[in-house]
Every structure is written in C-alpha cells, then in structure tokens.
C-alpha cells in the first residue's frame, strides 16, 4: 500500500523536543517516529514501527539461521522464580514490582533467564532433547537510574533475548560461537558498525562474555583496543602486573611528619623537600610512588551502606565503573549495588579514618560488611600493588606519612581488584601493544552463564549414561529499540534522518511539487507503478503544502530515495535524489520507475 502523507498518521515538528540531548532522540521525535509517554517510555508511530519491524525481521532471520526458535513469554511475572535465584533482591531498585489484588508480588521482567530455564525444565528431560536455543523479542522493564537519550536507555525497551541449553561445556561453546557469528551478521545487515569486546559478566554471573559496542562519542561505555587486536570494555581490562620484588634487604619503613599534606600533590612536594631521593634510588618522588587510599561507600541491594577502602598508585584515579564491575566477589551478597565516594556522614561513623592520611592496616570498631563487632576494614588494592613494592602512604595519623611501607611485609590486603582508570598507552594484557580508548553504545551482549541458573532452578537432564546432569546455559541479548536509535544516531545530517536501505521506513519518497493537476496525476501514477514493482512507497500527495515544507519533510523523514515530480514535467522529466549523497538527476518520466528500482537493488 502506498503511504499517502495526506492520510498517514504523522506530524513532523519544526522544533526540537526540549528534553532531547542527542541527535537520534531529537530527530526520531521531530520526524514523527516516536512520542514520549513518560521518562524513558515511548509510543511508536507508524513510521517508527516500520523501522522497528525491519530491525526485528533481520534479527529473526539470523536467529532462525542458527536454529533458534521463537517463543514469547509474559512480561508480567510472579516473584517466586526470581526469589529462588535471589534476583528479586539483587535487582534492588532496578526493577518494577507490583502486587495483584490478592497481595501477591509480581515484577515486570528486566530479563528472562529464570522463565526460560523453568520452561525447558517443564518440557525436556534427556540429553537427546539438546542442544536447544530459544528466543523472544519482547518488552523489558528496568527502572533505570538515569533514563536518557530517548530510546538509547529506556525504562521500557525491546530486547531480543535468546537462551541456549547444552548438556556439556563443548556444547555451550558451540552455541555461544553460533550466537556470536549471528550477531555479527545481524549488525552487518543492519549497517551498524559494532566491535565485539571482552566484557565482565556483571549481575548475570557466569564466565565468558562479550559485548558488541557501536563506537560513538555519545556512548556510555568506554572500551580499549590494541593494534594487535585486543578489544575489551574498560570494565574487563586486566592490568599487566609487575613482577614481585624480593624485599629481604629493603630498609625498614619510617613514619615522618608531613604537615599539611592531605593531597597526593602536596605529599609529593613535601617528600621531595623532606626526603630528597637520589637519582640512583629512583630520582625525585612522583605520584606513582605514593599509595592513595580511597574510601568508597557501597549501597548493597538490601539498602545497607558499607565502606570499602581501595589502595591505588597515587598517579592513577579510581574508575568507579571498574570497581562496580569487579567488587561483587568481595561483598557479602550479590546483586546491583551503587558506589560512590564516601561522604561526610559515612566518615563520621568511622572516626579512625583520618582524611588525607589514611594508610593500610586499620581495624575499625564498627561492624563492616555483615560482620559482627570489631572488624578489619575491607581493604582492596590495585594489581600493581604486588609483594615487595615500597610506598609512601598515610600513617593513619593527621600530618604523618610513612615512607618505604613494603607490600607483603608491612601490610596486607583482602583482595586485588581491577579498579583504576585505564589510560591510552597502557599495555594490552595479551602483549598486543598499547591501548587506545574510545566510547561506544552496547548493542548486544552474549554470556556463557554456565550452570548457575540451571542449578538454582534444578534443570537437569539424563545424559548418555543415564545419569542426571545439570544443563549448561548461555544467554544472549540484542537491544532492538536501542538499535533503532543507534541507527538514527549514526545515519543523520543537519536536515534529518538518512536511513540505510535495510531499515528505511520506505524505499522511495515521492513528492508532488507545485499545483498542476498533471503533476499530481503523474506522481500518483509513478507511486502506484513503484509499488507494483515491489517497492515500499511514501507519497506526499498533500494538496496545499509548499514545496519547501514537502522537501523539508522528505529530508527529515530520511527515506533513501526522493522522487520529485514538479516543474520538470513540462520537459518530460522528474528529479530523483539520493538522500545520502544529495546527488540529484533528472530522469525521463517513463524511465523513472526502472531508475528507482535499480537504485534500490544496487544499494
Ligand atoms: P547497559 O550496560 O547499557 O545498561 P546492560 O548490560 O544492562 O546494558 P543487558 O542486560 O546485557 O544490558 O541487556 C542486553 C541488551 O539490551 C543490551 O546489550 C542493550 O542493547 C539492551 N538494553 C539494556 N538496557 C537497555 C535500556 N535501558 N534501554 C534500551 N536498551 C537496553
Ligand atoms: Mg550488558
């Protein structure tokens, strides 16, 4: 059916929506693809739905090509399965919870691992039933702390989520590899550049995991790449750890008065005055010689607030996202946490922490991290703090620092954590060269979940020997609505959207420009012929709209080919314009359909 603009449910806007920070949000609203219903929640209009359906279709075809079958779960789910895996608690404030009239708890699903696991447990019982991959394309609900950038981070959004079920690890590897290659094909067909990067598993648990990041300045993820092909989300980068140093001959640590040195900078200056270091001993003190102890406050999924101290070389900042991604195994309970620098209130409760002069080795009176009574402070260090390294650090007394405090001899730690900022120029962990940093949007994420969910929900099958074995699982997500936004983001100019053919809401946008009856008759005829040739056609048949507005709308809407029927008609030609290049050509009316059909086929 030809979409006639006189009838199409569409209003383009001249003004940018006030809340739009990024181009995709601005343009999708202005060009009449989506409307905001509430923060992070959007209504889809006909043009938007058309693009969305095309993205979904590409995903369906590639899922089907690896043998995955489509199912559809409810979004409204009972609490119980999520209690068994503890995610009812772990999600903290991140999910929408509600009660039915009888007072039973429900949630709007943020993701569906539990339900898929239970469905397979319901129906399958033998290794002969496996491998199995099933998926859905469905609304997900997350009460994001910061919904932003329109569809990029919504509170209701569409995800394609698949789950694989295998009897052994080799099977899981194969299912994971199949999804990985399907994802690369999906993004290639959509015309969306993505880079697969190593990722941390986060709240999902499990082992191997990769994200597909679309590189863009507006992305919220930072990733690194090396010339030798290493690529990782900064959260997952591992530090090249220096060798341990023999400390048998290291001089004893010495506490010195260092008044007014609450910052690394003032400390380094004072050290160079108080204890000048000779060239032979390493030259002037720098921030890298100091051990900075950063006090963080962690809010656990239960709402409890705890403090943690992290020791890092003084020349490196702490990257809270990296801490958040890696601190899970040190905390008493799993789940979504929030992390921030400890505030005055937190510090008041820990009087032994002397701001600016904090060093390793404190024992606190306050209960910490679920322990009762006096507890050692949870003290984690950067991987560069290896045994035998000597540091200038706080002496836990105002105005005093200790020099030559040797790791492993004078102080210990509860754990090593990847926590400092990764810098351009740092070495890749696999020896493939210096890292470059860039920003990206996470378009997809694949996980080897392993047996975590199957164990929790008791999904077992009989293996070849008649023994019950726990099934091993993978989970794989693509942000479908986020893909629409990312496509808009990377395909626009100052005039509007410039869709790639694979997802454009139509193949050609026919514009009748001017007043003559013949103009409208010809435009109508061409639209019908283009449609008969198998193309999707938008036809701007609005009778009393100026050429400027019509062209403006065509460019805003962003269909790849614009065919204008206007003044040239007296000479027997129409104008056919490529939206991306801006190149326009006059083409004889009777050649116009073939010309457009070829343009569509050849691009
Ligand atoms: P992010 O780190 O961006 O919050 P996530 O790691 O929480 O995402 P996953 O649980 O891995 O997301 O979900 C799979 C995919 O769903 C993501 O790769 C992303 O494309 C999409 N997605 C996740 N959260 C949102 C959201 N709030 N709005 C739109 N798409 C989302
Ligand atoms: Mg993710």
What is the pLDDT averaged over residues 478-499? Answer: 96
* Structure tokens belonging to residue 467: 């023994």
What is the pLDDT averaged over residues 70-79? Answer: 97
Highest CATH level, class, for 508-601: alpha beta
Ligand 1: residue of 147, 475, 482 to mutate (most ligand atoms within 8 A of CB) is 482
Gap from CA of 442 to ligand 1 centroid (Å): 7
Gap from CA of 282 to ligand 2 centroid (Å): 43
For 411, half-sphere exposure in the C-beta direction (CA atoms, 13 angstrom radius) is 31
pLDDT at position 301 over 90: no
pLDDT range class, residue 516, cuts 50, 70, 90:
confident
What is the pLDDT averaged over residues 575-594? Answer: 96
Atom number, ligand 1, closest to the C-alpha of residue 155: 27
Q: What is the pLDDT of residue 149?
A: 84
Return all residues near 212 (Cβ < 8 A) that are at least 6 apart. 183, 184, 187, 194, 195, 196, 197, 442, 443, 444, 445, 446
Which of 601, 595, 536, 495 is CA-nearest to residue 4?
A: 536
Q: What is the pLDDT of residue 202?
A: 57
Between the alpha carbon of residue 238 and those of residues 197, 198, 273, 281, 311, the distances in Å are 13, 10, 36, 29, 17
pLDDT higher at 123 or 338: 123
Q: Specify the DSSP class assigned to residue 422.
A: P
pLDDT at position 282 over 90: no
Could you give the CA distance from residue 475 to residue 223 in angstroms, rounded to a whole number?
Answer: 22
Domains of the chain by residue range: 49-75+109-237+437-489, 254-416, 508-601
Could you give the CA distance from residue 456 to residue 158 in angstroms, rounded to a whole number?
Answer: 27
pLDDT range class, residue 19, cuts 50, 70, 90:
confident
Ligand 1: residue of 442, 444, 483, 484 to mutate (most ligand atoms within 8 A of CB) is 442
- Ligand 1 neighbourhood includes 477 CB (under 6 angstroms): yes
- Ligand 1 neighbourhood includes 153 CB (under 6 angstroms): yes
Beta-carbon neighbour count of residue 457 at 10 Å? Answer: 19
Between the alpha carbon of residue 328 and those of residues 204, 225, 236, 418, 456, the distances in Å are 11, 25, 13, 12, 19
Q: Nearest ligand to the C-alpha of residue 482?
A: 1
What digits encode the pLDDT tens for the residues 254-266?
999 999 998 999 9
Beta-carbon neighbour count of residue 452 at 10 Å? Answer: 19
* Structure tokens belonging to residue 569: 């008609």
Mean pLDDT (the chain) is: 92
Q: Tell me which CATH code domain 254-416 carries.
A: 3.90.960.10
Q: What is the pLDDT of residue 371?
A: 45
- Ligand 1 neighbourhood includes 485 CB (under 6 angstroms): no
Q: Whose CA is nearest to atom 8 of ligand 1?
A: 442
Highest CATH level, class, for 49-75+109-237+437-489: alpha beta
- Ligand 1 neighbourhood includes 109 CB (under 6 angstroms): no
What digits encode the pLDDT tens for the residues 434-449?
999 999 999 999 999 9
What is the pLDDT averaged over residues 197-212? Answer: 78
Q: What is the pLDDT of residue 367?
A: 41
């Amino acid at each position: 059916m030809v979409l006639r603009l006189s009838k199409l449910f569409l209003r383009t806007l001249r003004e940018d929506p006030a809340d739009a920070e990024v181009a995709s949000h601005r343009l999708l609203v202005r060009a009449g693809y989506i409307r905001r219903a509430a923060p992070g929640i959007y209504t889809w209009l006909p043009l938007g739905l058309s693009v969305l359906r095309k993205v979904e279709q590409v995903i369906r075809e590639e899922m089907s090509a690896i043998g995955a079958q489509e199912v559809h779960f409810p979004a409204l789910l009972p609490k119980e399965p999520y209690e068994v895996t503890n995610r009812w608690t772990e999600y903290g404030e991140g999910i929408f919870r509600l009660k039915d009239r009888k007072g039973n708890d429900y949630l709007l699903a943020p993701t569906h691992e539990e339900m898929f696991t239970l469905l397979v447990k319901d129906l399958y019982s033998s290794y002969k039933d496996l491998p199995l991959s099933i998926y859905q394309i469905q609304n997900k609900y997350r009460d994001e702390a910061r919904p932003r950038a329109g569809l990029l981070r919504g509170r209701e959004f569409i995800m394609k989520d698949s789950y694989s079920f295998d009897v052994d690890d080799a099977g899981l590897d194969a299912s994971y590899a199949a999804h990985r290659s399907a994802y690369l094909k999906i993004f290639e067909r959509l015309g969306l550049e993505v880079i697969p990067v190593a990722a941390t598993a986060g709240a999902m648990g499990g082992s191997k995991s990769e994200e597909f990041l679309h590189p863009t300045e507006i992305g919220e993820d930072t990733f690194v790449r090396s010339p030798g092909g290493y690529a990782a989300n900064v959260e997952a980068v591992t530090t090249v750890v220096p060798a341990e140093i023999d400390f048998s001959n290291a001089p004893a640590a010495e506490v010195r008065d260092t008044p007014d040195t609450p910052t690394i900078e003032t400390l380094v200056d004072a050290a160079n005055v108080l204890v000048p270091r000779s060239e032979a001993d390493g030259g002037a003190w720098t921030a890298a010689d100091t051990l900075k102890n950063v006090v963080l406050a962690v809010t656990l999924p239960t709402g409890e607030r705890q403090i943690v101290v992290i020791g890092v070389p003084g020349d490196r900042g702490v990257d809270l996202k990296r801490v958040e991604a890696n601190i899970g195994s040190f905390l008493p309970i799993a789940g979504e946490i929030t992390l921030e620098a400890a505030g005055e209130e937190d510090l008041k409760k820990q009087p032994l922490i002397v701001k600016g002069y904090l060093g390793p080795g404190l024992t606190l009176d306050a209960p910490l991290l679920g322990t009762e009574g006096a507890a050692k402070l949870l003290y984690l260090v950067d991987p560069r703090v290896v045994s035998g390294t000597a540091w200038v650090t706080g002496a836990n007394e105002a105005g005093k620092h200790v020099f030559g405090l040797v790791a492993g001899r004078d102080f210990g730690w509860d754990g090593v954590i990847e926590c400092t900022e990764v810098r351009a120029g740092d070495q890749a962990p696999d020896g493939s060269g210096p890292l470059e940093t860039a920003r990206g949007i996470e378009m997809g994420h694949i996980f080897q979940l392993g047996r975590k969910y199957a164990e929790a929900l008791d999904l077992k099958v009989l293996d070849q020997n008649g023994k019950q074995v726990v099934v091993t699982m993978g989970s794989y997500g693509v942000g479908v609505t986020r893909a629409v936004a990312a496509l808009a983001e990377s395909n626009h100019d100052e005039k509007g959207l410039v869709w790639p053919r694979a997802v454009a809401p139509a193949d050609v946008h026919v514009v009748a420009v001017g007043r003559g009856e013949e103009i409208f008759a010809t435009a109508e005829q061409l639209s019908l012929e283009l449609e008969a040739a198998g193309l999707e056609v938008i036809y701007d048949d609005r009778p009393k709209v100026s050429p400027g507005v019509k062209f403006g709308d065509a460019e805003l809407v962003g269909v790849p080919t614009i065919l204008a029927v206007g003044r040239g008609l007296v000479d027997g030609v129409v104008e056919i314009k490529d939206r991306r290049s801006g190149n326009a050509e006059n083409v004889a009316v009777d050649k116009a359909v073939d010309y457009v059909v070829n343009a569509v086929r050849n691009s």
